[in-house]
Structure 1
Amino acid sequence: MKLHEFTAELFSNWPVKLFSIAAAVVLYFSYQLISLDSKSFSLPLQVREGGNFVLTESAPQYVRVTVRAKTDKLAVIQKSDIQAYIDTSSVTAAGPNSLQVKLELKDFFTLMEPLDIQVKPHTLLLSFEKNAYKVVPLKPLFFGTPAEGFEVSSWTVSPAAVKISGPESITESTSEVYTGTIDLRGRKTGFKAPITVEKSSKRIEILDVPDATIKVEIAASLGKRTFPNLPVGIFNLNGKLQTAGDMPKVSLVLSGGKKALEAFVPDNTTVQADFTDIDAAGTYSVPLRIYIPDEFSVVGIEPPLLKVELSENKAYIPSSENDDDFSVQTQPVFPAALAMLFEDAL
């Protein structure tokens, strides 16, 4: 056959011939793929964040990857040889953005032929916001309670505040960040301990966290107790005088350790009316003296001044040595007592 005849024959009906060649190629590769074995993995999806926008929602935790290859090649492929991830650095606007799920393969995959790898889902539609920053206080999260009769009197966290970042709406609504749990159960004394800093949201990041510590002061629980209708003792009443009737009673309010207050039993020496410098009958507003243990403090007493009517003591017999003899009222004795003239405290 001559050259021009061969050329003419070669290009005659060329569309049909071209279609036949393409079909043969497709059939060949289809056969190659059909003859391959497959292996599927459920892989964790990594989120590689960057840029000025961050996710406002959590991406799917896992994606499904299917690998098709020759049986002998497929047998050596392990789950750890493939990493699935999305890269947020390409996001340039807030709102929904479509991101492609990408695969990172070990180098030996380049030597496999034929090879087919599919990932589902292939793309993800995720919402983004501008990345924002804020400084918020760090607060302790206490667990349990101190021993009975004790309480936390104060605490100090160092650092007092931390810097956070995250989606603008979530960052702006975050007013504080808490520490990990701090166990107070059964404690009677203060302590200092290292602490962790916990995120308030999965989308919030704590930036540049130094070594954090907390100092907790624990003291006896303080409380108040009212002692109503207390009898009032007489202090330094001139022997020439006497009360015209029964002494009025008072109501005393004390503060101090709860257990000690519960155990305290006042008597007629706890509150005393001071008649010093009164030497004539009449009606007087008499100041009060209060005798209590040092561990207590007076919150209030009602009334603060006692109105008492005094009359002459007709049974009084003056001593030969001193016509102004006093009826001496013995003061109570406490191991550690506080004598207080309540009038001076008003």
Structure 2
Amino acid sequence: MLLNNIFLKILSVLLAISLWLIVATSDYDQIQFNVPVKLINVPDKKVAVTDESLINVTLNGPRLVLNSLSYNDVSVEVDVSNFSGYKTDYRIKPSDVKVPSSVNVVRIQPAEITVTIDKIIHKNIEVTPAFIGEPAEGFKVGSLQITPSEVEVTGAASTLNDIDYIETLPINLSGKSEKMSYSVGLKKSSGIKKIDPSQVEVTVIFSENMVKRKLSNIPVTVVKKNKDYIYKLLTNEVDVQIDVRSDIADSKDLKKRINIYVDVSQLAPGQYLRNIEYSSGENIKIIEITPGKARVEVTK
């Protein structure tokens, strides 16, 4: 047992020396990190807010160590327990930047921040959704329901007095066209300590995205002919104003989806001014036809 303990101690010393030699003989390099400022030791019933959300720090050290660093290994912590007054301009010290012992802080940008020690207040604030991505082609957001529509926010008075709404975390609409519901969190910015409730239910209902188009020279046809008569259209083309879903609005066959016609089933020989009738494909709504009537000549 004693020999085993001695062997383990010798092995530990050798490993430590090996690691030190690797670090000591490694090439040195520099790396930059953007890290948030953490304000610690805030007085009771107060909240601390800084005007800078991220600090850029340049670090120097063995390349082996720097390459293994993650954002969780670097932080900026400012002790505000001794700050007096409402606002304090504070110059960040290298010792405020928490890094591994073999790494040195070369530069801090910005080097100075303004810290506000403020009273805590409560405020009911309206919730607004934040979206990313676009719905499926031909669709848009039609209506929204947010439950609850307001939340109680606790935080710095200077922050909340300037806030009229609070956003949800991004909701992805990419390729969506069917009704969807999400339970989603809310963005918690600097100066906000608590949001109650911390999540809201957002229901999104999509509608067709209709756009206007004017089509010219649409041919007029005759339907329900009597085989004993001859029909001649004196008005054989019209212009059509339509609402059409955006994804088919510029399709080359759009005119083919619209049927303009005159019903001649009740006409005896003579000349007539008949109402123009129509039918159309899905996702097309006829708004106006010019002219609205067609002259028809019927002979035997």
1:270 Cα deviation from its structure 2 partner: 0.5
Choose which of 235, 240, 255 in structure 1 pairs with 2:223: 235
Unmatched tracts of structure 1, length 5 or more: 1-43, 62-82, 99-124, 317-346
Provide the residue aligned with 1:300 in structure 2.
287
* Structure with the bigger percentage of strand: 2
Alignment pair present for 1:213 and 2:201: yes
Instruction: Write the letter of the residue equivalent to 1:141.
Output: A
Q: Is the 8 A contact 1:190 1:215 kept in 2?
A: yes
Q: What is the aligned-residue identity percentage?
A: 17
Choose which of 181, 191, 194 in structure 1 pairs with 2:183: 194
Instruction: Write the letter of the residue equivalent to 1:182.
Output: I
Q: Is the 8 A contact 2:271 2:298 kept in 1?
A: no
CA distance in 2, matches of 1:151, 1:60: 34
Root-mean-square deviation (CA), in Å?
A: 4.4
CA distance in 1, matches of 2:283, 2:177: 20
Q: Is the 8 A contact 1:141 1:180 kept in 2?
A: yes
CA distance in 2, matches of 1:126, 1:171: 16
Cα 1:86–1:137, aligned 2, differ >3 Å: closer, same or farther?
same
Identify which range, 182-191 or 225-234, moves more after superposition: 182-191
Provide the residue aligned with 2:234 in structure 1.
245
Alignment of 1:270-281 (within 5 A): 270-275=259-264, 277-279=266-268, 281=270
Provide the residue aligned with 2:42 in structure 1.
48
Deviation digits for residues 236-260 of structure 1 (CA, Å, limit 9, x no counterpart):
5676674473524232414236248
The structure whose Rg is larger is 1
Cα 1:149–1:247, aligned 2, differ >3 Å: closer, same or farther?
closer
1:60 Cα deviation from its structure 2 partner: 12
Deviation digits for residues 94-146 of structure 1 (CA, Å, limit 9, x no counterpart):
95589xxxxxxxxxxxxxxxxxxxxxxxxxx9655564443222222222334
Deviation digits for residues 252-288 of structure 1 (CA, Å, limit 9, x no counterpart):
414236248736444498111234655474562x222
TM-score (structure 2 length as normaliser):
0.53
Identify which range, 260-269 or 220-229, moves more after superposition: 260-269
Alignment of 1:1-346 (within 5 A): 45-51=39-45, 55=48, 57=50, 84=79, 86=81, 95=86, 127=116, 131-148=120-137, 151-187=140-176, 189-199=178-188, 201-217=189-205, 222-236=210-224, 242-243=231-232, 245-256=234-245, 258-259=247-248, 262=251, 264-267=253-256, 270-275=259-264, 277-279=266-268, 281-282=270-271, 284=273, 286-293=274-281, 295-303=282-290, 305-308=292-295, 310-311=296-297, 313=299, 316=300
1:198 Cα deviation from its structure 2 partner: 0.7
Q: Is the 8 A contact 2:211 2:249 kept in 1?
A: no
Cα 1:50–1:151, aligned 2, differ >3 Å: closer, same or farther?
same
1:214 Cα deviation from its structure 2 partner: 3.0
1:289 Cα deviation from its structure 2 partner: 1.7
Q: Is the 8 A contact 1:143 1:181 kept in 2?
A: yes
Determine helix, strand or coil for the equivalent of 2:129. strand
Q: Is the 8 A contact 1:273 1:288 kept in 2?
A: yes
TM-score (structure 1 length as normaliser):
0.47
Cα 1:184–1:265, aligned 2, differ >3 Å: closer, same or farther?
closer
Deviation digits for residues 136-192 of structure 1 (CA, Å, limit 9, x no counterpart):
222222223345555544443332221224444532331221112223345565543
